[in-house]
């Protein structure tokens, strides 16, 4: 018991795990994930589940000392890996889901919140963060930013440095073409060039 308390204390000093609140759950299917993922939670009833047995280098933040978040969920499915992603959820009931066989490069930010509120004339918050969904077999390029309320379809590629903005869906590739969807707008140009015989793959 004393050894576990000491390990928890050391983890907090290193920033690996800092959980403040009630009924928060952090589950790693692969024990070594503890080496790669730093988790900070401020709030209640939140869940982080990483099923992958691939290295998932991540800084995961749910809520903050000044603004706790409740009932948030982060789920990473099997065989997905990351070389350095920052995942931020700051609003109650928000979620980030990452499918199977998805690879995330370094410097990627997944922000399911603007971290501030925008109020309209009726005193209503109009920029609520709800969810981010990243499908199966995706590649998220270096330094990309995935913003709140977006969906990235299966088999998609988000080009390095791209910003996927609120309310957008990255479409799947055409069924008759063996290519991923590419942001921003490069796939259409490539296909047009192939049809005109200007380029080849």
Look at 151 and 16; give whichever has higher pLDDT: 151
Task: Determine contact, residues 51/29, Cβ cutoff 8 Å.
Answer: yes
Is 80 exceeded by the pLDDT of residue 187?
Answer: no
Chain segment 111-130, per-residue pLDDT in tens: 998 877 788 888 887 878 89
Q: Which pLDDT belongs to residue 109? A: 97
What's the CATH fold of domain 2-172? UDP N-Acetylglucosamine Acyltransferase; domain 1 (2.160.10)
111 backbone φψ class: left, alpha, beta (φ>0; ψ -120 to 50): beta
> What is the Cα–Cα distance from 22 to 46, expressed in whole angstroms?
9
Whole-number pLDDT of residue 8:
59
pLDDT, tens digit (0-9, with 9 covering 90-100), for 39-59: 999 999 999 999 999 999 999
> What angle is formed at CA 147 by the lines to CA 80 and CA 121, rounded to 5 degrees?
155
**What single string gives the DSSP state of each residue in 23-69?**
S-EEEESSTTHHHHEEEEEESSS-EEEE---S-EEEEEEES-SSS--
Query: Do 57 and 84 form a contact (C-beta atoms < 8 A)?
Result: yes
Contacts of 26-29 with CB under 8 Å at 24 or more apart are: 29/53
Question: Whole-prediction pTM value?
Answer: 0.77
In which band, very low, low, confident or very high, does the pLDDT at 81 lie, cut at 50, 70 and 90? very high
Q: Is the pLDDT of residue 177 over 70?
A: no
Q: What local confidence, expressed as pLDDT, does residue 193 receive?
A: 43
């Amino acid at each position: 018991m004393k050894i576990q308390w000491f390990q928890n204390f050391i983890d907090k000093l290193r920033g690996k795990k800092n959980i403040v609140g009630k009924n928060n759950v952090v589950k790693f299917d692969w024990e070594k994930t503890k080496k790669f993922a730093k988790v900070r939670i401020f709030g209640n009833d939140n869940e982080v589940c990483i099923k992958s047995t691939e290295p998932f280098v991540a800084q995961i933040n749910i809520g903050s000392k000044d603004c706790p978040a409740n009932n948030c969920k982060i789920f990473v499915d099997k065989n997905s890996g990351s070389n350095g992603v920052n995942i931020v959820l700051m609003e109650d009931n928000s979620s980030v889901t990452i499918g199977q066989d998805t690879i995330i490069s370094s410097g990627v930010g997944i922000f399911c919140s603007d971290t501030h509120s925008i109020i309209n004339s009726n005193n209503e918050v109009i920029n609520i963060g709800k969810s981010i969904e990243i499908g199966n077999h995706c590649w998220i390029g270096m330094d990309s930013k995935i913003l709140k309320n977006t969906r990235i379809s299966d088999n998609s590629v988000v080009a390095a440095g791209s910003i996927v903005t609120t309310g957008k869906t990255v479409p799947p590739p055409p069924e008759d073409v063996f290519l991923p969807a590419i942001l921003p707008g490069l796939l259409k140009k490539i296909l047009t060039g192939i049809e005109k015989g200007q380029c080849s793959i």
